[in-house]
Structure 1
Amino acid sequence: MRLRILVFLLLLSVSLLVPSPLAAQTSAEPTTQVQTDSNSQQHSAYSLSPEKLERAIAYSRIRVILDFAGSGWGILQLILLLGLGVVAKMRNVAIHLSRNRWAQGFAFIFLLLAVTTALDLPLDLYGHHAAVVYGQSVQGWGSWAWDAVKSFLLTLVFGGLLVMLLFWVIRKSPSRWWFWFWIPAMVAVLIGVFVAPVLIDPLFNKFEPLEKTNPALVERLEKVVARGGIHIPPDRMYLMKASEKVTTLNAYVTGYGASKRVVVWDNSVNKATPDEISFIFGHEMGHYVLNHIPATLIFLGILLLVEFYIGFRGVRWLIARYGSRWKIASQNDWGALVVLLLVLAVLSFFSEPIVNGYSRMHEHEADVYGQEAIHGIVSDPQKVAQQSFQLLGELSLTDPNPNPFVEFWSFSHPSVASRAAFAEKYNPWVAGGHPKYFAK
């Protein structure tokens, strides 16, 4: 997981605010939650031509290297910035700039964010280059750079406000800040999930009413929505112009309450059949109907509270041992933010398998739900689901045989091969079968 300075709180919300394609995960596909009879069954359900397989293996290797290198480099750069005295110098610049704490805080945050962004830039540039070379992205460098600038500014503003709140809580409760800060942090996540579809997403992608361009698809999705027992009127269904940046597919539900909406990528409309879009959407709708979002908030909230407490203990210990060398006197020092980020970055890396394992469980449940949700709407749910994974895997250049350790550590979804194999044989509507989420 790539470290982003000042986003240690937003890491919790990013997984909720930025929906990932059903099969286009970051490194490759993770350990399956579904046991199949043999590898040959998986390979028959999802396979690639020799030429595409070679490209998929090469691209998956690049993504794995970038993933682990990004995590390691994120931790190492913080150690170097502390050990070389760069953090102390940035802190001095900030406090000499003004006596006002707000001015000091945002000056320090800007310098820290600028330095770490520059240090991350080589990996980011190569990652986008690889995505373009392997046909995963069609975004030009100018557009990519503008998105990076917008992300920087959003992180500076909202991350800066959270950091100012953090140091205020530290001053008010030096020994309990880890708990008192956790409460508004969780509130911030809830607010972020609510406003992201309305305020954040439109900054990075173009949206238009789906009914305007594809009324037939709206009618089809309304049938899937009705089966799920949720209410999303047609005027909350949108087409996202994903084709301006990426080549993969997706359809999902985002937001909650007044901000809840359906989003279908234009790539999905152009490359997938209405039946396949229905399944992809049914999977994403399953996350909502099965209450995966509140469950994930609770799970990650508890994990975040534990990490905050360990962060509190770790910051005190590190400052006591290395504070004089780093020229950071106490946890009230602006430089203590980097010490906290270092502890949280290490914790984030080692907790990754826990978070991903939890995610894989939910993803499998959503697969089952999606296949059951389209029963009666499409003629052959098994074939549609299997073909959806085949299409998504081909477009995402997903390796059918990912490394087991990489699967365990870094993948948030079951493998495409295992998901396709499960979909192909999952048929609870036969005599004696019992669907898990719908009445027969």
Structure 2
Amino acid sequence: MRFRFLIFCLLVTLTMTLPCALGAQTPSAASSGRQVQSPAGSPERPAYSLPPDKLARAIKYSRIRVILDFVGTGWGILQLILLLTLRVVAKMRNFAVRVSRNRWGQCFVFTFALLLVTTVLNLPLDLYGQEMARVYGQSVQGWGSWSWDVGKGFLLTFVFGGLLVMLLFWVIRRSPNRWWLWFWIPAMILVLIAVFVAPVLIDPLFNKFEPLARTDPALVDRLEQVGARGGIKIPPDRMFLMKASEKVTTLNAYVTGYGASKRVVVWDNSISKATPDEISFIFGHEMGHYVLNHIPETLVFSGFLLLGEFYVGYRGVRWLIAQYGQRWNIPSQNDWGALVVLLLVLSVLSFLSEPIVNSYSRMHEHDADVYGQEVIHGIVQDPQRVAQQSFQLLGEMSLTDPNPNPFFEFWTFSHPSVSSRAAFAAKYNPWVEGGHPKYFVK
């Protein structure tokens, strides 16, 4: 999620299941990262491992990230309950109504007040998370730049969140008993629009991009080779270098957008730290999401999930207002304060559905790993070794613990473990006699 403000919870619910980039998520591992014994009895080095000093740091940092994840979710839910119980929401509603008689004015005043309060309440955790990223070498972004990104995120959330809130309450007023269905339709349309415009309008607000051909024309030729083998034509003028090194130390390369906005993005960290073969695999993985139709499949999956959450949200809002509306001073679902009640229900539903969403995502990520390894066959000399080394490098740069708690992996991780991915890559060889590649003819 790009922004971590609670009012954005509604927008996040719309987009939380879109495919993610290969190196952007926190991976995890179960037993596959531990040393095993070879038949001769000598220890066999796992496909992904870390030296002792880096392993200790990875374990500590992974625990911090998991704690922040669960604490952040719990605090987000708790603060909504407190804002309702202490009637802060009702006071913000009253303030918005006093400031303007126009519903558009009321909507944006209330949205701004709620966003401001929740941003301040979330700020300690956000500051701590950024400081830990700096301490553990994952971020090199200065506090001024970080604050500017937060400010831009605030403004974007205010503008687009306010429009979405206005649409929501217009639908509620028009169809009190079926708003969950009628709001779902434009919400899904907005998701499609967001996926299309984000690479062109949103991403450049947070990172610098320049033509990849200007920096590394040889890599452009290589990526065109990979794209041609996969049947995707992306011209060089749609290949970009992102100056990720100004903010983070991790690696990535991905395909984003669709139609006229589709483009290749390679982080400058990847060029400086990974080989062209490794970048080819990372790019091939991301290309797999497109070729294998993961984006439309995920939109369908998330659409049905979202429809169910909206229906439960509708039922939950009506029940909560009937039970606690008088105590909260929120008389009906037409009240601006009902937005916070809906956010509360959606926050709980989002947390409970997280394992379902992540399990679905891990399935797609594994398929993309297979595709990425197959698509570079014949382009790189040893696809197995290249893929395994790519995961080794990604894990090292991201300080990924080879052996985190399996429960945390099941609940919070959208990608398979780096250990299991590296082990699979090292063993996957369908080009031997009798083997059959899954997506390509030998």
> Normalized against structure 2, the TM-score is what?
0.96
Superposed, 1:59-74 pairs within 5 Å as 59-74=61-76
Superposed, 1:305-384 pairs within 5 Å as 305-384=307-386
Q: Per-residue deviation at 1:23?
A: 3.7
CA contact (8 A) 1:94 1:105 kept: yes
SS at match of 1:310: helix
CA contact (8 A) 2:33 2:46 kept: no
CA contact (8 A) 1:91 1:335 kept: yes
Residue 287 (structure 2) aligns with: 285
Q: In structure 2, how many angstroms separate the alpha carbons of the residues matched to 1:291 and 1:39?
A: 37
Residue 296 (structure 1) aligns with: 298
Q: 1:181 to 1:31 in 2, by over 3 A?
A: farther
Q: In structure 1, how many angstroms separate the alpha carbons of the residues matched to 2:33 and 2:142?
A: 41
Residue 198 (structure 2) aligns with: 196
Q: In structure 2, how many angstroms separate the alpha carbons of the residues matched to 1:87 and 1:40?
A: 60
Q: Per-residue deviation at 1:235?
A: 0.6
Query: Structure 1 vs Structure 2: percent identity of aligned residues?
Result: 77
CA contact (8 A) 1:30 1:411 kept: no
Q: Tell whether 2:91 aligns with 1:89.
A: yes
Q: Deviations over 1:274-299 (max 9, x none)?
A: 00000000000000000000000000
Q: Deviations over 1:23-66 (max 9, x none)?
A: 4423x42679xx89985699510010000000000000000000
Which aligned segments of 4 or more residues in structure 1 are displaced greater than 3 angstroms? 14-17, 35-43
Q: Per-residue deviation at 1:5?
A: 1.1
Structure 1: gaps (5+ residues): none
Structure 2: gaps (5+ residues): 39-43
Residue 243 (structure 2) aligns with: 241
State the superposition RMSD in angstroms. 1.7
> Normalized against structure 1, the TM-score is what?
0.96
CA contact (8 A) 2:5 2:119 kept: no
Residue 159 (structure 1) aligns with: 161
Alignment match of 1:58 (pick from 50, 57, 60): 60
Alignment match of 1:11 (pick from 10, 13, 28): 13
Superposed, 1:73-222 pairs within 5 Å as 73-222=75-224
Q: Per-residue deviation at 1:189?
A: 0.3
Which AA in structure 2 matches 1:161?
A: L
Which AA in structure 2 matches 1:413?
A: H
Q: Tell whether 2:25 aligns with 1:25.
A: yes
Which AA in structure 2 matches 1:439?
A: V
CA contact (8 A) 2:13 2:306 kept: no
Q: Per-residue deviation at 1:383?
A: 0.2
Q: Deviations over 1:84-126 (max 9, x none)?
A: 0100000000000010000000000000000000000000000
Q: In structure 2, how many angstroms separate the alpha carbons of the residues matched to 1:3 and 1:46?
A: 35
SS at match of 1:402: coil
Which AA in structure 2 matches 1:437?
A: Y
Q: Per-residue deviation at 1:9?
A: 2.8
CA contact (8 A) 1:194 1:259 kept: yes
CA contact (8 A) 1:46 1:390 kept: yes
SS at match of 2:254: strand
Q: In structure 1, how many angstroms separate the alpha carbons of the residues matched to 2:421 and 2:23?
A: 9
CA contact (8 A) 1:10 1:189 kept: no
Q: In structure 2, how many angstroms separate the alpha carbons of the residues matched to 1:235 and 1:437?
A: 28
Q: In structure 1, how many angstroms separate the alpha carbons of the residues matched to 2:231 and 2:208?
A: 29
Q: In structure 1, how many angstroms separate the alpha carbons of the residues matched to 2:17 and 2:184?
A: 18
Aligned residues: 435
Q: In structure 2, how many angstroms separate the alpha carbons of the residues matched to 1:333 and 1:10?
A: 22
Q: 1:377 to 1:179 in 2, by over 3 A?
A: same
SS at match of 1:400: coil
Which AA in structure 1 matches 2:409?
A: E
Q: In structure 2, how many angstroms separate the alpha carbons of the residues matched to 1:335 and 1:370?
A: 48
Q: In structure 1, how many angstroms separate the alpha carbons of the residues matched to 2:92 and 2:346?
A: 21
Q: Deviations over 1:286-334 (max 9, x none)?
A: 0000000000000001000000000000000000000000000000000
Q: Deviations over 1:355-386 (max 9, x none)?
A: 00000000000000000000000000000000
CA contact (8 A) 1:43 1:417 kept: no
Which AA in structure 2 matches 1:285?
A: M
CA contact (8 A) 1:429 1:435 kept: yes
Which AA in structure 2 matches 1:25?
A: Q
Q: 1:201 to 1:289 in 2, by over 3 A?
A: same
Q: In structure 2, how many angstroms separate the alpha carbons of the residues matched to 1:6 and 1:399?
A: 30
Q: In structure 2, how many angstroms separate the alpha carbons of the residues matched to 1:119 and 1:3?
A: 9
Residue 399 (structure 1) aligns with: 401
Q: In structure 2, how many angstroms separate the alpha carbons of the residues matched to 1:306 and 1:15?
A: 15
Q: In structure 2, how many angstroms separate the alpha carbons of the residues matched to 1:186 and 1:121?
A: 30
CA contact (8 A) 1:209 1:235 kept: yes
Q: In structure 2, how many angstroms separate the alpha carbons of the residues matched to 1:4 and 1:194?
A: 24
SS at match of 1:8: helix
Q: In structure 1, how many angstroms separate the alpha carbons of the residues matched to 2:150 and 2:397?
A: 25
Q: In structure 2, how many angstroms separate the alpha carbons of the residues matched to 1:89 and 1:39?
A: 61
Which AA in structure 2 matches 1:358?
A: Y
Q: Per-residue deviation at 1:7?
A: 3.5
Residue 259 (structure 1) aligns with: 261
SS at match of 1:70: helix
Q: In structure 1, how many angstroms separate the alpha carbons of the residues matched to 2:235 and 2:15?
A: 26
CA contact (8 A) 1:24 1:392 kept: no
CA contact (8 A) 2:149 2:206 kept: yes
CA contact (8 A) 1:240 1:263 kept: yes
SS at match of 1:45: coil
CA contact (8 A) 2:33 2:419 kept: no
Alignment match of 1:436 (pick from 424, 438, 441): 438
Which AA in structure 1 matches 2:92?
A: M
Q: In structure 2, how many angstroms separate the alpha carbons of the residues matched to 1:328 and 1:392?
A: 49
Q: Per-residue deviation at 1:14?
A: 5.3
CA contact (8 A) 2:62 2:400 kept: yes
SS at match of 2:8: coil
CA contact (8 A) 1:30 1:410 kept: no
CA contact (8 A) 1:279 1:388 kept: yes
